[in-house]
Structures are given as structure tokens and as C-alpha cells.
Amino acid sequence: MRESATMWMARCEGGSLFDDFIENSYIAIGEQGGSPDMSKVTGRTDIEKFIRSFWPDRPARRVSYGTGVFERYVLKMNIGDAVVTYDPSQRQYAVGTVTSGYRYEPAEDKQHFRDIHWQGKVRRDDLSTTARRSLGSMVSVYLIPEPVAAEIAALQKGESPVVPALKALEIEVAEESEELDAESVAARGLELIKDMVVQLSWRDMEEVVAGLLRSMGYKTRMTDRGSDRGRDVLASPDGLGLEQPRIVVEVKHRPNTAIDAATVRSFIPVLQTADRGLYVSTGGFTKDAKYEAERSPIPIMLISIDEFVKLLLEYYDSSDTRLRTLVPLRSIYWPLE
């Protein structure tokens, strides 16, 4: 990666394509059902014409947004530029270098490709607050502000970064993102809430998990510290664990450590035949851990921090004072178009 390389963010559909991007050394954008080939475009006007021809009923705002994304991805991104993509389940950014020009491959879900040489990863929690706030945009492809790019590059190389000034950076991000709508605001809010949850103590994290289950209609009991035997929270309709379904919950609050298959396997003997297992990990899960849960004879649900916070938002209005004290949030309203 060149010291002065331009650095792009390339979103991977909420993290669902992250592993595929890394394992197969590429990034891609596109839409379900297809999108137009941009191989012959020479400017923004060409891109807009292609979009309007392919989707004649698309609203003007979405045409403008798509034109900006394709202009950056097809025309402005160059071989040698740095690129970053994000895995929200494990809160880490993969950092690499663009090694090919744009190419089009017709497919059902993604059509526009670039080859990438991936060089390393940077944990979101190692970034400054300023940098984390700037990386919340849900625009598919955008230019990362230069001070944040420098911080990411330094961390990827194991060096101490210079933290950028927030005020100037906010202006730069606003100009680049082009898109201030309810979806973008909600997505940025989701990442900031995850940042808040990561800062909780391990015991408070267990309390928040119990609070979420209460907001879903269960009664909960916390196990004594140091003697949980793989059970941090017990949830059931009666609160005693005598009525089914009884949910046995293990909480691992290690944001920088993904739970592996052996750890999930050790959770299975804790469960009785009629139990349901719930494993919450703020560091996410390895592929083998997910497979281990799927093959378990007793149902086990694995919940990463990304999934947990989405559930937290879904049931927050029904939550009690204890949960709201630990994770204080305020709802906002946005006008419909």
C-alpha cells in the first residue's frame, strides 16, 4: 500500500459478503436481479443515462445516489488505491489494495468487480472516536477522509496513528457521503450504539442481555458470579426455570475475540434436552463455531453484537429502567417521502 494512497470504503451488504470478499480477493457491488454494464462509460453523464435506461421508474434521488456510487467505483477508483471493507459481526475492517480495473460479470446479486490484495485487518475498537464516527455512512462506495485513512493505514502496520480533528472531518464526511436519509442515519446510529455496548463491563453486559429477554416477555435470573458453570442468565416464562421454554444463556463479552467451535461445544453439556441455548458474543463467532451450533442436538442460537443491538432496538420500547440506564438511547422521527 502506497503511503499516500487514496483509500475507499466498499460496503459488503451488512457484512454478509465479508468472508467471500476476503477468501476470493475481490470486492463487488450490484443489485438483486442485475444492473447495467458500466464498462464503456466515460463520465458521470454516461452513468446517469445507463441507470435511467435500465431503471426508468427509479426516483431522481436514487438515480443521483447510484450515479455517485458508480462514478467513484468505475471511474475514480484506481489500481494501487487502498480499499477497506467492514465486518460488523466481528467489528473489524479488512484493508487491501486494488489490483485490477473495473470488470462486469452478469450475476443475480452482484455484477461489478474489482480484484483486491488483502493485507491485514484493523479492529474498530482500536480506532479513535473521531474515525469511528466518520465510518458510519451506508453509502456503498465512498472516499475515506485522508486523516482517517492515515489512521487506518498506521494501525494496519502496527504504528501509532495521529488522531484527526473531529470538526473538520465531519465537514469532509458530509460532503462525500451525498446521502442524508433515514436509512443512513439509522445505520450510523447502529454502529455508535455498538460502540457504547462494547464499553460495558462484563457484568453490565450480562444485565443488558437479561434486560432484553425481559423486554421480550421472559422472566430472568442471573447466576452468581464465579459459579455460573456456563450459564450466565436463565430465562423462562415463570422465572424459576420450571416452565418451558427455558433459555440458558452464555454471554462472552470479549469484543476482540471470536468464539470458536470448541467453546460452543463446551456449552452443549450445560443444556438439558428441553432447553434452548442462547450464546451472545460481542466478538462474533468463527465459521466452525456456527457449524457446531447448527449440528448441536439441542437448539443453540448464536448472536453477534450486530444481531444483538438490532434486537435491542426492536424491543427497546418495552425495556425496563435497568436496561435503559445501562444503554441510554433516544428515538428520533423522520418524515416519510
C-alpha cell at 84: 477497506
What is the DSSP secondary-structure string of 162-210?
PPPPHHHHHHHHHHHH---SHHHHHHHHHHHHHHHHHTS-HHHHHHHHH
Residues 6 or more apart in contact with residue 120 via CB below 8 angstroms: 94, 95, 156, 157
Torsion of CA 152, 313, 20, 79, to 10 degrees: -40
Cell numbers 475481490 correspond to 26
Q: Which amino acid is at 4?
A: S
Q: What separation in angstroms does the CA of 88 have from each of 45, 131, 136, 283?
A: 34, 16, 11, 10
Residue 246: strand pairing partners = none
Q: What is the pLDDT of residue 189?
A: 83
User: What is the C-alpha to C-alpha distance for residues 244 and 241, in angstroms, rounded to an integer?
Assistant: 7
Low-confidence residues in the chain, pLDDT < 50: 1-4, 168, 171-178
Q: Residue 335: how many CA atoms within 13 Å on its side-chain side? A: 2
For the chain, which residues make up each domain, given as ranges?
7-180, 202-326
Q: What is the pLDDT of residue 164?
A: 61
Only one residue has cell 492515515, namely 150
What CATH code would you report for 202-326?
3.40.1350.10
| CA–CA–CA angle 122, 184, 143 (5° rounding) | 50
Among 160, 232, 196, smallest CA distance to 323 is for 196
What does DSSP assign to residue 245?
S
DSSP string, 83-147: EEEEETTTTEEEEEEE-S--EE---SS--EEEEEEEEEEEEGGGS-HHHHHHT----SEEEPPHH
- Among 320, 276, 319, which residue's Cα sits nearest to residue 297? 276
Q: Which residues contact 173 (CB under 8 A, 6 or more apart)?
A: 134, 137, 145
**DSSP code for 259:** B
The closest of 294, 311, 301 to 279, measured between CA atoms, is 301
72: Cβ–Cβ under 8 A, 6 or more apart, which residues? 8, 141, 142, 143
pLDDT for 139 equals 81
C-alpha dist (Å) from residue 71 to 48, 201, 317: 9, 44, 41
Residue 96: Cβ within 10 Å count: 25
Count Cβ atoms below 10 Å from residue 136 Cβ, excluding itself: 17
pTM: 0.74
Beta-bridge partners for 116: 98
